[in-house]
C-alpha cells in the first residue's frame, strides 16, 4: 500500500513538471528589443487637411520574435515626448504579418498620423514633439489577456503640427444676424460664423445650423473674409446668386435648428427646420414621445456646439429623430440594428437604422452634427 501511495506522489510530481514546462512554452516572453523600427528615424512632418490623403511616411520594422511561428499584429503607438508609453497609449493597427517575414512595412497617411497625434494630446495648429514606437502581438492573443506576450520597438522622436480635421473638407460659411446669439458673431467677416461641409469635396454641401433668434437672416459665403465675388446671396427661394447683388435669406420658421443642402455649382439650396431629439424604447418616454437635446453653448465644454442631454437609458433600441412624422432620422451606417459603443464616437447617418444601448445606465448623450462628413454619437457613462 505504501509503495502504491509513493508511486502516486511521484506520478503527480512528474505531471506537474510536464505541465509547468508546457506553460513556459505556451507563454514565451518577448524581448523589448525584438523589433527594430527602421523608418521613420525622426524628422519633421507637415500635415494639412488638403493633403490628408498623401503619405506622411512609410513605417518599416523587423519582425517580432516570440520563439514560435505565428502571425503578428503590429500597431503604431504615439505619445507626447514628455509622456511615457503605457498599455493604454493611443495606437493604430498597421496590419497583421507572418513572423517569418524579413521586414514589414506600412504606408501611413497624413490623415492617419494626424488622428493618432490628436488622440495622443496634440494641439491643433501647434508644433509638438512626439514619440513613436511599434508593438507586435500574436494575432490569436486576446486583447484582454493578462499574461500575454508582446514585442516592443525602439522609440523614435518626431515633430509635427496637427491640423483640424474639419480642414479636410470644403466649407461654406453662413454669416448672418443670428451669429452673436448662437456662439458666433453677427455678420462676421473673419470666419466666425457657422459652417456646413462638403463630404465629397465636390461643391455639394449639407449641414445643421442653430439659429437662436426669432427672425434670422443670413447669406451663403465661400470666402469668410468677404473679399471675393462668389458670396452666394439669395435671389429667390431655392436659388442664390454668385455675386454681391443678392438679398438676405430669411428663414420663416423662427429660432431653432435648420438643415441645409447647397449645390454651389448649380446655385441652388434647400432649407428646413428640424428638431433634435432622442426617441426609442431605451429612453424614459419609449417610442411614443421624443426627448429633446440641448445645444451646448459653453466654450469650455468638450461638447461645445454639440447637442447633449444627461439621461438614464435601458439596454434597448433608440434613434435620433429630426422630424415628428419620422421622415427624417439618424441611425446606424449599415441600416441594421446595432449596439453602439460606450464612450467612443459612433458614426451615424441620416435615415440610418436603430441603435442599441450596450448596457443600462446613466449617460450623457452627445450628438455631434457639426460636420456632414462625420456625423457621430457618443454615450458617455455618468
Could you tell me if residue 371 is inside a domain? Answer: yes
- Please give the chain's pLDDT, 382 residues, in tens: 444 444 444 444 444 443 434 343 344 444 444 799 999 999 999 899 999 999 999 999 999 888 777 899 999 999 999 999 975 677 899 999 987 777 799 999 999 999 999 988 899 999 999 999 999 989 888 766 667 788 899 999 999 999 999 999 999 999 999 999 999 999 997 889 999 999 999 999 999 999 999 999 999 988 888 876 677 787 777 888 877 667 899 999 999 999 999 999 998 999 999 999 999 999 999 999 999 999 999 999 999 999 999 999 999 999 999 999 999 999 999 999 999 988 888 999 999 999 999 999 999 999 999 999 999 999 999 9
What pTM does this model have? 0.76
Question: What's the distance, CA 90 to chain centroid?
Answer: 13
Question: Same domain, yes or no, for 161 and 57?
Answer: yes
Question: Same domain, yes or no, for 197 and 318?
Answer: no
Question: Same domain, yes or no, for 76 and 108?
Answer: yes
Domain final position from 114, 138, 166: 166
Question: Same domain, yes or no, for 53 and 156?
Answer: yes
Domain final position from 148, 166, 184: 166
Rounded CA-CA distance 375/331 in Å is 10
**Domain of 215: which CATH number?**
2.60.40.10
Task: Name the domain count of the chain.
Answer: 3
Rounded CA-CA distance 237/246 in Å is 12
Question: Same domain, yes or no, for 162 and 173?
Answer: no
Amino acid at each position: 500500500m505504501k509503495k502504491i501511495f509513493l508511486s502516486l506522489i511521484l506520478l503527480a510530481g512528474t505531471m506537474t513538471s510536464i505541465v509547468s514546462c508546457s506553460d513556459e512554452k505556451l507563454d514565451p516572453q518577448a524581448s523589448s528589443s525584438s523589433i527594430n523600427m527602421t523608418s521613420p528615424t525622426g524628422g519633421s512632418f507637415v500635415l494639412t487637411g488638403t493633403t490628408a490623403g498623401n503619405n506622411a511616411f512609410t513605417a518599416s520594422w523587423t519582425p517580432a520574435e516570440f520563439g514560435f511561428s505565428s502571425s503578428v499584429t503590429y500597431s503604431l503607438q504615439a505619445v507626447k515626448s514628455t509622456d511615457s508609453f503605457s498599455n493604454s497609449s493611443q495606437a493604430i493597427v498597421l496590419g497583421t504579418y507572418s513572423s517569418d517575414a524579413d521586414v514589414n512595412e506600412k504606408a501611413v497617411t497624413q490623415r492617419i498620423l494626424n488622428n493618432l497625434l490628436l488622440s495622443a494630446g496634440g494641439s491643433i495648429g501647434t508644433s509638438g514633439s512626439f514619440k513613436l514606437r511599434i508593438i507586435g502581438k500574436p494575432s490569436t492573443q486576446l486583447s484582454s489577456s493578462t499574461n500575454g506576450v508582446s514585442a516592443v520597438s525602439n522609440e523614435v522622436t518626431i515633430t509635427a503640427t496637427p491640423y483640424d480635421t474639419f480642414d479636410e473638407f470644403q466649407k461654406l460659411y453662413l454669416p448672418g444676424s443670428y451669429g452673436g446669439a448662437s456662439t458666433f458673431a453677427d455678420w462676421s467677416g473673419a470666419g466666425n460664423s457657422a459652417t456646413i461641409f462638403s463630404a465629397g469635396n465636390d461643391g455639394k454641401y449639407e449641414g445643421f445650423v442653430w439659429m437662436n433668434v426669432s427672425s434670422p437672416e443670413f447669406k451663403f459665403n465661400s470666402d469668410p473674409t468677404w473679399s471675393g465675388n462668389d458670396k452666394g446671396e439669395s435671389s429667390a427661394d431655392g436659388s442664390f446668386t454668385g455675386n454681391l447683388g443678392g438679398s438676405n435669406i430669411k428663414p420663416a420658421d423662427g429660432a431653432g435648428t435648420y438643415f441645409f443642402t447647397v449645390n454651389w455649382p448649380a446655385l441652388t439650396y434647400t432649407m428646413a427646420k428640424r428638431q433634435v431629439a432622442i426617441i426609442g424604447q431605451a429612453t424614459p418616454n419609449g417610442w411614443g414621445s421624443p426627448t429633446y437635446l440641448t445645444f451646448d453653448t459653453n466654450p469650455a465644454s468638450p461638447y461645445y456646439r454639440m447637442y447633449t442631454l444627461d439621461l438614464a437609458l435601458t439596454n434597448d433600441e433608440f434613434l435620433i429623430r429630426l422630424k415628428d412624422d419620422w421622415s427624417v432620422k439618424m441611425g446606424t451606417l449599415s441600416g441594421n440594428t446595432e449596439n453602439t459603443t460606450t464612450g467612443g464616437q459612433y458614426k451615424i447617418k441620416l435615415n440610418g437604422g436603430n441603435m442599441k444601448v450596450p448596457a443600462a445606465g446613466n449617460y450623457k448623450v452627445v450628438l455631434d452634427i457639426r460636420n456632414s462628413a462625420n456625423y457621430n454619437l457618443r454615450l458617455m457613462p455618468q
